[in-house]
Amino acid sequence: MGKFIVRRLLQMIPVILGTTFLIFMMVYALPGDPTDGRCGQRPCPPQYVEAFRREYNLDKPVIVQYLLYLAKLLTGDFGTAYNGKTVLHELSIRYPVTIKLALIAIAIEAVIGIAAGILAAIRKGKFIDNLVTVSTLLLISFPVFVIGGLCQLVFGLQLGWFPVTATEGTWEQLVLPGIVLASLSVAYTARLTRTSLVENLRADYVRTARAKGLTVPRTIAVHALRNSLIPVVTYIGASFGALMGGAIVTERIFNINGIGGYIYKSIHDRDGTALVGTVLCLVVVYLVVNLLVDILYGVLDPRMSHD
Amino acid sequence: MRASRVIMAAASAAVFALVLSACGSGAGDGGDAASTGSDDAATAGSDGAATGGTEVSIRGCTPENPLIVTNTNEVCGGNVLDAVTSRLVHYNSDTAAPELDLAESIESTDQINFTVKLKQGYLFHDGTEVKAKNFVDAWNWAAYGPNGQLNSYFFEPIEGYADLQCADEECAAAPAAEAMSGLAVVDDYTFTIKTVSPTSNLTVRLGYNAFAPQPDAFFADTDPKKANFAQLPIGSGPYKIVENDDQAMVLEKFADYSGQYPGSVDKVTFRIYDSTEAAYTDVVANNLDATDQIPGPQLIGDLWKDDLPDRWGTKDTGVIQVITFSPIDEQLESIEMRQALSMAVDRALITKQIFNDARTPATGWVSPVVDGYKAGACTACVFDPDKAKELYDKAGGYTGTLTISVNGDGGHQEWAEAWCNQLITNLGLDCAVNATPDFATLRKGINARELKGLYRGGWQMDYPSIENFLTPIYATGASSNDGDYSNPKFDDLLKQAAAASSNDEANALYQQAEAILGQDMPSMPQWYQQSQFGYSTKIKSLKMTPFSTFDLGSIELN
């Protein structure tokens, strides 16, 4: 197992190098220069442009830019964004907010999604099953900006149950955005759990367990559910990365100063330094979460042990 | 083995947690500090009430540049610096008329040699006094080429500016001089400015942010970019900045401010919003006290006035929108074609249907908010489809598809479509809108003179003078002359106006120059802009300036 983890951690190095390189190239390939729109209607003074390009190494070939960036990165320096603030400082403020938001969303997704899935599976074909099926279908078919805008208007503005925006990113402010963010994946989680559990409930080993005289709750919770959760755990793990990086829409609606908005802004400003640093952190988180998921497999199903 | 698996899982979870915190190293600290800040903000209301302190929150946005007056040219940083600094001249928040602020007097007999006398006893936020050298040193630093300041061109009229510029693009060799010969300190409260050529409106220009004095602390910052100073810049304005992070920029009233434009409330928080929609929703919910932008969809049918009953306002601002004719499009060269394209469009219909009258159809090239404005310079801005068609046929028509290029990220597509449709209907030509992904891409196309057809141009005044709407955009070789317009007669009138001995004489000459634009049609004026703003029930009244910023001295609370 230890060997497995070490191997996986080592595998991360080429992945990180590859992603940073690709993103660096993509920013470089974007049309337009970072200084193009900075001076409004007039072109920027040439001396400003020159100083700006020198400061951010934009006057060098892209490969040199990338290597210089990497060299700095190895010393723990994430560089400076175009507005003069260090990227590390921005990340240190924005990551905790995004992680809070993602954790709230994951919690909602896991608890509500799995519970709804179990209920639907054991009452297959009954009212509760249909209710889960229809409501998840509704959630899936609504785009997130509709759900977000609607929730903000109804629960925030009209009923006043939740704060309207989450500028400071405190836990209570992030509950409503967390629900909105989780809405799509909660639907998938519920459906995945239901399908998987329904299949396993028909399996021979469940009949054997019942025949042994085990109670129904124990059969479902310990035997069937544990086997059914493997695809669900995979999905939740994968969605964690998506929840962190893909919350751009939710972040804009609720004015959350998180990672999604920073990525959007960096792309808009063609700010490669800020973008690559942010994505680098996302990649690391994503890889680690997936490693965790792989380890969890072993816990859920001993046949998949990594020993 | 099962137990060990569980332990491994727990251990990996711990590793995971470590990675997360390492990734934003100091993440915990940053997060805590930030939430403490917000708690303060949340509780300060009650605390403040006890001590009699008042505070408001205003929509802010992320500054694009470090907070240095000579390196900030956009509103996000400008809003804050406006309140933090004071200048020689202050613009009246109702009329934009220049009034002396730090200056006791600015005098000149020949419009070339100016003598500036300062009022005594003005303090920077660090307690040092504002003296003549704070101006001269700041301006020399900003104009010095290697410092690469965005607003350096504002110092171009001063004699010796050229000697401070780099000889080559890489700036390998240091410029010939480090100080402009046109600036001289006479005593602590007097300095002189000598301009290259007569500049009758120099006094008006001196109210622009870039001309603010810098304290000794600015020059003491050893960082070549003054990055440390820019975190919490020190000025001599009515408010000092005490906090500057990603979520908010906090200003507090400067206790030792001795000028005539003091702040009103004790604390102003510019809370950062990425989208105007979120800020608007917060104002409706009384979560935010004021927003200077109302989202487009809320303007339709005056929805915003219903959402914000008795807590909204509008202000005419010094912004004009024009459509420029591409200089590389031969088919657009003839004056008949230009007049036809302008006369074929009913501007009033577009401003009503698309902007709900939040824009006023333009009748010239100069915004009505400035001194020297005269209506009706653009005779071809009057809607006359028959005459337009006649002129269009006379010009020989336009072959191919005429494109209107706009940036797709600024809400310009709607009017561009409408403009196109009117050209199609009234002139029978082919017209299409070319929306670039963002403003930078549009500017790249324009600056490189790659775009054909028509393109959008917007101008927000730097200082309230008729000259600011003419010289930088239409003088031969000017920095923002997107249409490569050139007319020696026009240039000559600008020169005469700059040398005029009185303001009225200068304005009359500038008006004559604008009349020449009416004959040549270097661009099609579209409309003058109005700003809309909303505020919470906490605020009784507040004013917006003609620069679309809030006048922080005007806030009255309920």
Measure CB to CB from residue A88 to each of B25, B34, B440 and give the nearest one: B25
Q: Which residue of A has its CA nearest to B319?
A: A41
- Contact (Cβ atoms closer than 8 angstroms) between residue B61 and residue A252: no
Nearest CA to A99 among B31, B38, B275, B247? Answer: B31
Verify whether the Cβ–Cβ distance B443 to A31 is below 8 Å: no
Question: How many beta carbons lie within 10 A of that of residue A222, not counting itself?
Answer: 11
Verify whether the Cβ–Cβ distance A96 to B460 is below 8 Å: no
pLDDT at B502: 83
Distance between CA atoms of residues B235 and B100, nearest Å: 17
Measure CB to CB from residue B245 to each of A45, A93, A251 and give the nearest one: A93
Interface check for B4 against chain A (CB to CB < 8 A): the answer is: yes
- Contact (Cβ atoms closer than 8 angstroms) between residue B281 and residue B62: no
For residues A95-108, give the mean pLDDT: 89
C-alpha to C-alpha distances, A284 to A50, A279, B22, nearest whole angstrom: 35, 9, 11
* Burial of residue B345, with CB atoms counted within 10 A of its CB: 0-12 exposed, 13-18 middle, 19 or more buried: buried
pLDDT at B444: 83
ipTM associated with this complex: 0.80
pLDDT at B100: 94
Verify whether the Cβ–Cβ distance B16 to A257 is below 8 Å: no
Q: Which residue of A has its CA nearest to B457?
A: A41
Cα angle for residues B365, B368, B374 (degrees, 5° grid): 70
Rg, C-alpha atoms of chain B: 26
**B28-55 confidence digits (pLDDT tens):** 333 333 333 333 333 333 333 334 589 9
Measure CB to CB from residue B287 to each of A91, A164, A268 and give the nearest one: A164
Question: How many beta carbons lie within 10 A of that of residue B75, not counting itself?
Answer: 19
Distance between CA atoms of residues B334 and B392, nearest Å: 10
Mutate to test the interface with A, among B246, B298, B319 (most CBs of A within 10 A): B246
Verify whether the Cβ–Cβ distance A92 to B29 is below 8 Å: yes
In CATH, A88-300 is 1.10.3720.10: yes
Verify whether the Cβ–Cβ distance B38 to A46 is below 8 Å: no
Distance from the Cα of A123 to chain B's closest Cα (Å) equals 32
C-alpha to C-alpha distances, A128 to A118, A121, A184, A228, nearest whole angstrom: 10, 9, 19, 20
Q: Which residues of B touch A73 (CB under 8 A)?
A: none
Distance from the Cα of B455 to chain A's closest Cα (Å) equals 12
Distance from the Cα of B229 to chain A's closest Cα (Å) equals 12
Q: Which residues of B touch A33 (CB under 8 A)?
A: 440, 444
List the beta bridge partners of residue B107. B115
- Contact (Cβ atoms closer than 8 angstroms) between residue B216 and residue B85: no
Verify whether the Cβ–Cβ distance B73 to A39 is below 8 Å: yes
Portion 227-246 of B in contact with A at CB < 8 A: 227, 230, 245-246
- Contact (Cβ atoms closer than 8 angstroms) between residue B418 and residue B354: yes
> Which residue type does A285 have?
V
Chain centroid, CA A158 distance in Å: 30
Q: Which residue of B has its CA nearest to A85?
A: B66
Q: Which residues of A touch B65 (CB under 8 A)?
A: 38, 82-84
Nearest CA to B89 among B80, B97, B99, B81? Answer: B99
pLDDT at B49: 38
Verify whether the Cβ–Cβ distance A157 to B473 is below 8 Å: no
Verify whether the Cβ–Cβ distance B171 to A47 is below 8 Å: yes
| A·B CB contacts under 8 A | 225
**Predicted confidence pLDDT, tens digits, chain B (558 residues):** 444 554 544 555 444 444 444 444 433 333 333 333 333 333 333 333 334 589 999 999 888 888 999 988 888 899 999 999 999 999 999 988 999 999 999 999 888 999 999 999 999 999 999 999 999 999 999 999 888 888 888 999 999 999 998 877 667 778 888 899 999 999 999 999 999 999 888 999 999 999 999 999 999 988 888 888 999 999 999 999 999 987 899 999 999 998 899 999 999 999 999 888 899 999 999 999 999 988 888 887 888 999 999 999 999 999 999 999 999 999 999 999 999 999 999 999 999 888 888 889 999 999 999 988 989 899 999 999 999 999 999 998 899 999 999 988 777 888 999 999 999 999 999 999 999 888 888 888 888 888 999 999 888 898 999 999 999 899 998 888 888 999 999 999 999 998 888 888 999 999 999 999 999 999 999 999 889 999 999 999 999 999 989 999 999 998
- Contact (Cβ atoms closer than 8 angstroms) between residue B537 and residue B524: no
Chain centroid, CA B198 distance in Å: 26
Measure CB to CB from residue B64 to each of A41, A83, A264 and give the nearest one: A83
Q: Which residues of B touch A268 (CB under 8 A)?
A: 409, 438
**A237-261 confidence digits (pLDDT tens):** 888 877 877 688 888 888 888 888 8
Cα angle for residues B267, B271, B272 (degrees, 5° grid): 150
Q: Which residues of A touch B278 (CB under 8 A)?
A: 165, 252-255
Nearest CA to B64 among A169, A42, A282, A40? Answer: A40
Distance between CA atoms of residues B501 and B228, nearest Å: 44
Distance from the Cα of B306 to chain A's closest Cα (Å) equals 15
Contacts of A180 (CB under 8 A, 6+ apart): A144, A147, A148, A151, A250, A253, A254
Nearest CA to A77 among A267, A287, A262, A276? Answer: A276
Tokens found for residue B397: 């028509």
> Which residue type does A103 have?
L
Measure CB to CB from residue A165 to each of B6, B287, B458 and give the nearest one: B287
- Contact (Cβ atoms closer than 8 angstroms) between residue B318 and residue B371: no
Q: Which residues of B touch A152 (CB under 8 A)?
A: 281
Total residue length of chain B = 558
Interface check for B448 against chain A (CB to CB < 8 A): the answer is: no
What is the β-pairing status of strands B454-460 and B430-436? unpaired
Interface check for B201 against chain A (CB to CB < 8 A): the answer is: no
- Contact (Cβ atoms closer than 8 angstroms) between residue B180 and residue B161: yes
Contacts of B176 (CB under 8 A, 6+ apart): B163, B164
Domain extents in chain B: 317-530
pLDDT at A307: 55
pLDDT at A305: 63
Nearest CA to A96 among A257, A230, A233? Answer: A257
DSSP, residue by residue, chain A: -HHHHHHHHHHHHHHHHHHHHHHHHHHHHSSS-TTTTTTTTSPPPHHHHHHHHHHTTTTS-HHHHHHHHHHHHHTT---B-TTS-BHHHHHHHHHHHHHHHHHHHHHHHHHHHHHHHHHHHHTTTSHHHHHHHHHHHHHHHS-HHHHHHHHIIIIIIIS-SS-S--SS--HHHHHHHHHHHHHHHHHHHHHHHHHHHHHHHTSHHHHHHHHHT--HHHIIIIIIHHHHHHHHHHHHHHHHHHHHHS-HHHHHHTT--SHHHHHHHHHHTT-HHHHHHHHHHHHHHHHHHHHHHHHHHHHH-GGG---
Verify whether the Cβ–Cβ distance B278 to A253 is below 8 Å: yes
Q: Which residues of A touch B2 (CB under 8 A)?
A: 302
Distance between CA atoms of residues A261 and B247, nearest Å: 13
Measure CB to CB from residue B278 to each of A54, A255, A270 and give the nearest one: A255
Tokens found for residue A44: 């920027």
Distance between CA atoms of residues A20 and A70, nearest Å: 9
- Contact (Cβ atoms closer than 8 angstroms) between residue B145 and residue B171: yes
Contacts of B291 (CB under 8 A, 6+ apart): B58, B59, B276, B279, B280, B282, B283, B533, B534, B535
Residue found by looking up tokens 């440390």 in the block: B228
**A4-14 confidence digits (pLDDT tens):** 888 888 888 89
Q: Which residue of B has its CA nearest to A282?
A: B23
Interface check for B396 against chain A (CB to CB < 8 A): the answer is: no
Interface check for B10 against chain A (CB to CB < 8 A): the answer is: no
Count CA within 13 A, CB hemisphere, residue A183. Answer: 23
Tokens found for residue A103: 């954790």
- Contact (Cβ atoms closer than 8 angstroms) between residue B238 and residue B262: yes
pLDDT at B33: 34
Domain extents in chain A: 2-74, 88-300
Nearest CA to A78 among A303, A288, A284? Answer: A284
Verify whether the Cβ–Cβ distance B440 to A94 is below 8 Å: no
Interface check for B286 against chain A (CB to CB < 8 A): the answer is: no
pLDDT at B388: 93
pLDDT at B45: 37
Tokens found for residue A101: 């938001």
Measure CB to CB from residue B170 to each of A50, A93, A168 and give the nearest one: A50
Residue A222 pLDDT > 50, yes or no? yes
Which helix H or strand E contains B527, and what residues bound it? Answer: strand B523-535
In CATH, B317-530 is 3.10.105.10: yes
Portion 487-516 of B in contact with A at CB < 8 A: none
List the beta bridge partners of residue B324. B455, B523
pLDDT at A306: 59
As a whole number of Å, the end-to-end CA separation of chain A is: 5
Rg, C-alpha atoms of chain A: 24
**A33-64 confidence digits (pLDDT tens):** 777 777 777 777 777 888 888 888 888 888 88
Distance between CA atoms of residues B269 and B80, nearest Å: 10
Measure CB to CB from residue B13 to each of A47, A163, A292 and give the nearest one: A292
Verify whether the Cβ–Cβ distance B282 to A152 is below 8 Å: no
Portion 92-151 of B in contact with A at CB < 8 A: 145-150
Measure CB to CB from residue B443 to each of A37, A152, A281 and give the nearest one: A37
- Contact (Cβ atoms closer than 8 angstroms) between residue A133 and residue A120: yes
Question: How many beta carbons lie within 10 A of that of residue B240, not counting itself?
Answer: 24
